[in-house]
Chains A and B, each alone.
Chain A
Amino acid sequence: MDVLQTLSLIFTDYTLRNVALGAAILGIVSGALSTFAVLRKQSLLGDAVSHAALPGVVLAFILTGLKTPLVLMVGAVIAGWIGVTLVSLIVRETRVKYDSALGIVLAVFFGLGMVLLTWLQGQNNAGQSGLDHFLFGRAAAIVQSDVITMAALGGVVLLVTALFWKEFKILSFDGQYAATLGFPVRWIDTLLTTLIVVAVVLGLQMVGVVLMSAMIVAPAAAARQWTDRLSLMLILSSTFGALAGVGGAVISSLTSGLPTGPTIVLCISAIVIVSLLFAPNRGIVWGGLRGRRNRRELQQAMLLEKLYDASTRNNGQSQPVESLRFILSGGRLEDALGVLAGQGLIAPETGDRWALTPTGIEAARSLQAPGGIRSSTLFSNPKEAAL
């Protein structure tokens, strides 16, 4: 099946359309909330929430005997919320640190969930089959009513985020200052955490409890690479989440034997890797290139100044190449001199000697003026940014 045919199936095939829509909603909502989770250094919160949600899902089924998505989601939200509340309680009332508290809650709740799930499977209750899909997620099981539930819940989450934008922003940047302004910081914190819990739970059916935490970290981590604005970061994060969600869910539902959760996570990981490597300013490749260019420009400026100093000492005479070997050795010296000559700053003379051109003298003087190194045109990016 070629790609175009597959894509057209998203709009015509009932199952595939539901899968794609559900995954898009999941990606948009978790991407949006991941922005705040990552900026507040609560990346692992999603991990605790998703694992803590498992016993909630199983208990909701045991108590009601229903597998309606809304019922299971309510169970998951309650359990997830109890989990994060326990984490805050442990941090506040004991000397256990945040990461340890997350670890404890995650393990205890997930253990409880697995025990309940295994016990239920031994009960010969045919109705329970399918609950274990919550471990790794199953896209193909998504039906239209699931999509409607996800859309409604996701819509509420996004609406609340938009309404409390200013509050969430100031809480994330400087919570203590927000408190002095009179914002009920604890209340806003609880609201934001609750939204994160709902976002995590929205994705459980598709991605599963084990890997859902990735959707609360990765989209924002990737988005941060591309922008310095909070609003843009949230939009990008949602877009990345949706792309990875749809990509992963569609691939896994078209290929038999591919689990949904891991496929979605692999897609978002690919986006993260590309962002870490190639984003302008923050990307590794970009940073490496810039570092190399910076170093070369510094070496060239130093050569220029050395030539200038030497020629002022010697009444404007040209200088032999050998006198510059201390700054750069081997071919790198020739390369740097070549660049300077190409810029018309220096000119070769017979006997392997170099002299400054009038432009070169001008450039060397401006380099030596007060603050000259910061403002010199010899450097392609002004140094004042680092001031």
Chain B
Amino acid sequence: MTRQYDNTLPIQVEDLTVAYREEPVLWDVDVQIPASTLTAIVGPNGAGKSTLIKAILGLIEPSAGQILIYGKPYSEQRQQVAYVPQRGSVDWDFPTNALDVVLMGRYGRLGWLRRPGGKDRQLALDALDKVGMSAFANRQISQLSGGQQQRVFLARALVQDAQIYLMDEPFQGVDATTERAIVEVLKALKAAGRTVVVVHHDLETVPEYFDRVLLLNVRLLASGPVAQVFTPENLKKTYGSRNETVLHGIDGGSPSANGAKEANHGRVADAQPDLH
């Protein structure tokens, strides 16, 4: 039997298994992500959330299965996909400024030997503006706060002007201003018909920020609209019944799992995302 490959479906993952050494990190995962949706990937540590994103991006060679972007392999669809890596994955002491990092988002379209020009700079400045960071364009990146660094990474992805956005824990350890800016950008992306997949840790905000959820713990335990899939039973299956405290957070609205958020000092203008 041959499967049907739907070239209107942004992301189609079939029978994906990934193993780093002997242990599988992802086991037989099937996922379909429909267009113009905001999807959260949740699951405990080591569940393979980042691995799934990296496999979709072709950064990790799967042991089995395949991944299609609009019906074709990633290598043919790079222009359609933008990536926001974890903030901790780079050395922020690199000698460069915020604008320069955002400009890197244009490198893929420039091709070999060409340097970014005035048009690219304008696009990069616009992207910084969308995340409320235009005042920091010339700031050395090591002098930005964690949340500001995260917004620079987000702007770098926005400047790619892709159809699909894959983000690895963009909300991790950011201040309230940044959290709001990211949420605004997510909404604007969805309104513009883009498809967004986000690795997310804060279960409490899943129903508020996302319309679809993907529950992952090596195996895919459930995926679909938040209202149908984000249930205590499914969460218990994903996290195991040991982790009662995490689960209570969602039913009852007990103390926030993300209570360590920094207070917002209101220095940065609110993000004004308007995606064309």
Contact = CB atoms under 8 A, between A and B. Distances in A.
A387 interface: yes
A176 to B, nearest CB: 6
B63 to A, nearest CB: 17
A181 B78 contact: yes
Interface string A290-302: 0000000000000
Residue among A167, A176, A180 with max Cβ neighbours from chain B (10 Å): A180
Contacts of A224: 95
Interface string B81-119: 101010001110011110001001001101011111000
Given A176-B85, A177-B85, A384-B267, A183 B94 contact: no
Given A163-B113, A165-B115, A173-B101, A181 B107 contact: yes
Main secondary structure of the interface of A (DSSP, over half): helix
A371 B83 contact: no
B250 interface: no
A172 B75 CA distance: 22
A230 B101 CA distance: 12
Interface residues of A, number: 32
Contacts of B59: 176, 179-180
Given A39-B95, A180-B58, A385-B143, A173 B265 contact: no
A173 B97 contact: no
Given A224-B95, A387-B145, A170 B85 contact: no
Given A228-B140, A385-B143, A387-B267, A183 B107 contact: yes
A121 B167 CA distance: 61
B110 A166 contact: yes
A233 interface: yes
A178 interface: yes
A181 B95 contact: no
B155 interface: no
B96 A230 contact: yes
A173 B90 contact: yes
A229 interface: yes
Contacts of A128: none
A184 to B, nearest CB: 10
A374 B267 CA distance: 11
B57 interface: yes
Main secondary structure of the interface of B (DSSP, over half): loop
B108 A181 contact: yes
A131 B23 CA distance: 52
A371 B268 CA distance: 13
A371 B265 contact: yes
Contacts of A181: 78, 107-108, 160
A177 B87 CA distance: 12
Contact of B108 (A183, A374, A385): A183
A166 B267 CA distance: 33
Nearest to B116: A166
A174 B97 contact: no
A230 to B, nearest CB: 5
A322 B34 CA distance: 72
A230 B95 CA distance: 5
A342 interface: no
Given A371-B266, A371-B267, A387-B267, 13 more contacts: A39-B91, A163-B113, A166-B107, A173-B90, A176-B59, A178-B107, A179-B58, A179-B59, A180-B57, A180-B58, A181-B108, A182-B108, A228-B140
10 contacts: A163-B113, A166-B107, A170-B104, A173-B94, A180-B78, A228-B95, A228-B96, A229-B95, A232-B95, A371-B267
8 closest residue pairs by CB, A with B: A181-B108, A228-B140, A182-B78, A180-B83, A180-B57, A174-B90, A230-B95, A173-B94
